[in-house]
Amino acid sequence: MRLVFVTEYFWPEIGGLERSTQRLATHLGALGHDVRLVTRLLPGTSARTRHEGVDVWRYPDDGAAPFTAHAAAEAMFADADAVCLFGVGDDPDAKWWRPVLDARLADHGVRLLKVGTEGDITLRRISPTLYQRLDGVLCQTPGIAVEAQSVGIAADR
């Protein structure tokens, strides 16, 4: 299975979300899945690296377009079985998600997933309409599941 993880920051920027992303990506890679990680190009990093068995693709976030728009232009998501979006901080419009969502990947059989985090909805970090466009939410706690269900995400998603 080809999986593409999308997160704004990744190694060497390491915080809680990045560690969680890294653990999940390396675990799935060790299970034999083809795992790519798409993230922002930061000063001092290279555009493509391999980190602990995971291919990391970095794209510029140049103000004119978010890093995900550049990745979508190179068809980085088109051949994936699933694209998993990680966090958006306090961006209520989730601007860097939009190129992924607007690529209509579901029309090509690509599943769009989100790793849910506490407060995504109650703290208005992500608009309910963006949440509803996802095929599923990976809930790490019952509280996250309750939040997702509060905006109409079915329990089986």
For residue range 55-90, list pLDDT tens digits in order.
899 999 887 888 889 998 888 888 888 888 876 655
Average pLDDT, the chain: 80
CA-CA distance, 131 to 48, in Å (whole number)?
30
CA-CA distance, 5 to 51, in Å (whole number)?
14
CA-CA distance, 31 to 37, in Å (whole number)?
16
Tell whether pTM > 0.75: yes
Domains in the chain, please, with CATH? 2-150 (3.40.50.2000)
* CB atoms near residue 70 (< 10 Å): 21
